[in-house]
Amino acid sequence: MIVVAKEDVLNGLKKFKRLAKQDLLVSRFTDDPEFWVKQAEGRRTAYSNLMEIVNDHGVDHAYRYAVKKYAGLPFVFADKNQEAEVIGKIQALEMFFTILGVQPPARKEIKNKTKTKDLAANAQR
């Protein structure tokens, strides 16, 4: 159970979303503007999704959603554009865990647990 107040979580997410917007605006001044635009957009989208879930379903539900999303993100990227957006999502989810005062779960462990549960569920059928 997460003990951080809903309003505190929403305030933190709003601040990080504003920072992502600022990064989006200044990305055109970087050496690789396309990469930084995608990365900032990935963060903003993730923050918006988390804010909506916190508003509609509460902090605990948003935490479970974030853990599941975090576990599902790839370790290897097919192309640079996908990499930028996924890196942004990873950063946003990690900042969400920071707001909650918890360590980000180890993605490899989560994936292994999910596979083990899937194998166990299939074996029982």
pLDDT tens-digit series, residues 67-118: 999 999 887 777 776 799 999 999 999 999 999 999 988 865 555 554 444 4
Q: Using CA atoms, how far apart are residues 91 and 41, in angstroms rounded to an integer?
A: 12
Q: Using CA atoms, how far apart are residues 63 and 58, in angstroms rounded to an integer?
A: 9
Structural Rg of the chain based on CA atoms: 16
Q: Taking 60 as the threshold, does the pLDDT of residue 125 lie above it? A: no
Q: Using CA atoms, how far apart are residues 52 and 39, in angstroms rounded to an integer?
A: 20
pLDDT tens-digit series, residues 11-36: 999 999 999 999 999 999 999 999 99
Q: What is the pLDDT of residue 23?
A: 95
Prediction pTM value: 0.81
Q: What is the pLDDT of residue 116?
A: 40
